[in-house]
Amino acid sequence: MKRVLETKEVSGSPNWLTTRFEELIKWVLQVTRVDKAVNWSRANSLWPMPFGTACCAIEFMATAASRFDFARFGMERQAFSPRQADVLICAGRLPFKLAPVIRRIYDQMPQPKWVISMGACASTGGIFDNYAMVQGIDTIVPVDVYVPGCPPRPEGLLYGVLLLHKKIKGESLLDPALRQEQPLDERGLRLPPETIDEISEPFGNSVHQFRSA
């Protein structure tokens, strides 16, 4: 205990008392593993908010059905009300008309909350690089796990859920940034416009896909 308290002592500094207090709390929490208990309970009872739009929603339903059954992984009850949900699973493509809806649903979820972007369309816009499609929901809501596939197999979605479990188990209660709400800025965007344009650019070098004839 003495060693820990000696490392950051800067006497005379205005913050030294709070720093030492934080060190003490961190040590206590490490020893009693509150973090681990909280993360374990959060990860193993993630109630999904299925924001199912298109084909991925059908694979999501198949994952919920008896063959693959994600209730084994703690997702026992699909919370159709965002107020009672932990993880928003965006399963399917997201057109611009639906964008304010998912943002509102995300804002209505209480902390702690996570987002799984299921499928290629939710992650990047998929094969729909056109006027109507949001090129990835991360332009609108912060995403924790991306599950690629068109649609991802149920095993793929389960793997994504397990990755989220791993991510949650690595979290710390003392990190305030994790549980902070990230509202939209005054322009109504989550990311700066240049970033949105950059991540929405078509990739690959096929110009044929934009040529009409």
Q: What is the DSSP letter of 33?
A: T
Shortest distance (Å) from residue 178 CB to other proteins? 24
Q: Which is nearer to other proteins, 74 or 119 (CB)?
A: 119
Q: Any idea which residue has 């912060």 for tokens?
A: 142
Task: Give residues in contact with other proteins (CB under 8 A).
Answer: 51-55, 57-59, 61-62, 65-67, 78, 80, 92-93, 95-103, 105, 127-135, 139-140, 150-151, 153, 184, 186-189, 193-194, 196-197, 200, 209-213
Tell me the C-alpha distance between 125 and 79, whole Å: 25
- In angstroms, give the least distance from the CB of 131 to other proteins: 3
Q: By C-beta, is 1 or 210 nearer to other proteins?
A: 210
| C-beta closer to other proteins: residue 29 or 99 | 99
Give the shortest CB-63-to-other proteins separation in angstroms. 10
CA angle, residues 21, 113, 30, in degrees to nearest 5 = 30
Which tokens is 161 given?
A: 């859920």
The sign one gets for the Cα dihedral 74, 79, 85, 90 is: positive
By C-beta, is 33 or 83 nearer to other proteins? 83
Q: How far is the CB of 185 from other proteins (least distance, A)?
A: 10
Min CB(19)–other proteins separation in Å: 41
Q: Residue 37 or residue 132: which is nearer to other proteins going by CB? A: 132
How far is it, in rounded angstroms, from Cα 108 to Cα 168?
21
Return the number of the residue (65 or 178) whose C-beta is nearest other proteins: 65
Nearest to 147 by CA among 137, 134, 161: 161
User: What residues contact residue 119 under an 8 Å CB cut-off, 6+ apart?
Assistant: 55, 56, 91, 92, 93, 126, 147, 148, 149, 150, 151, 152
Please give the Cα distance from 158 to 141 (Å, whole number). Answer: 21
| Residue 81 near residue 105 (C-beta atoms within 8 A) | no
CB of 88 to other proteins, least distance (A): 10
